[in-house]
Amino acid sequence: MYKLYWSPGSAAMAPHAVLNAIGAKTELIKIDDEKGEQKGAEYLRINPHGRVPTLVYDGANVMYESAAICLFLTERHPEAGLAPRPGDPDRGLFLQWTAYLTNTLQEALMHYWHPGYFIDGAERQNEVSLKAEATSDRMFGFLDGVLKRSGPYLCGKQFTVCDAYLAMIARWTRKMAKPAVTHPEIARLVRHCLAWPPYAEMLRQQGIEQPV
């Protein structure tokens, strides 16, 4: 029913965990980003941006953008219970965190990992990366406070795909001087995701680990 194009530790982590949770028939197609396969002509035909993830569903329908894929899958498979349904009062909060995570926190991490997308010159790129490290730490500190005040999950009492998305982004900080898991509530949430079988299975399938 689904094909997921992914590379290890990429933004495909969250959709991959959701597909595991759904238990739908899925073909996992690895894109070797170290060999630059994401920029190869074959892959560019389905994702003209040359990035992962990409989801193919029901034959020939193609979509990309990790958060959009997560939303689409949770909507299509409400029985997985990974999102408040449309109309539920918690839906607003769920959409808020989905947008915040992909649009704000993930963007800071893009600046950290890929400063060259934003500015030229090694020295200036290093500055952008360092600034993004501080910015993302501030955001994780903010989210830590949210989890402490109104957790245990981002949407309160319901574990949603937002929590897995947050755990994915937290992994991207593992090489920082102050990784996201130095915030205690973020560490607790990441541990919860590591104990969630679909997330643990995704890490195993991708051949990666996640330090806490």
Start-to-end C-alpha separation, the chain? 34
Give the 3-state secondary structure of 94-130: HHHHHHHHHHHHHHHHHHHHCHHHCCCCHHHHHHHHH
Element (H, E) at 3: strand 2-6
Is 149 exposed, middle or buried, given 0-12, 13-18 or 19+ CB atoms closer than 10 A?
A: exposed
Nearer to ligand GSH, 45 or 149 (CB): 45
The minimum distance between CB 189 and ligand GSH, in angstroms, equals 20
Angle, CA 32 vertex, CA 194 and CA 160 arms, to 5°: 30
Among 66, 60, 145, 151, CA closest to 101: 66
210 contributes a contact to ligand GSH by CB under 6 A: no
String marking each residue 38-77 x if it binds ligand GSH according to CB under 6 A: x-----------xxxx----------xxx-----------
Q: Report the residue closest to ligand GSH, judged by CB.
A: 51
> Tokens 């607790």, residue?
188
The minimum distance between CB 4 and ligand GSH, in angstroms, equals 12
The minimum distance between CB 134 and ligand GSH, in angstroms, equals 21
The minimum distance between CB 115 and ligand GSH, in angstroms, equals 13
Per CB under 6 A, the list member of 24, 29, 30, 33 interacting with ligand GSH is 33
Between helix 197-206 and helix 13-22 the angle, nearest 10°, is 130
Angle, CA 168 vertex, CA 21 and CA 46 arms, to 5°: 75
Nearer to ligand GSH, 28 or 188 (CB): 28
String marking each residue 91-120 x if it binds ligand GSH according to CB under 6 A: -----------x------------------
- Find the binding residues for ligand GSH in span 132-161 (CB under 6 A): none
Residues that bind ligand GSH (CB under 6 A): 10-11, 33, 38, 50-53, 64-66, 102
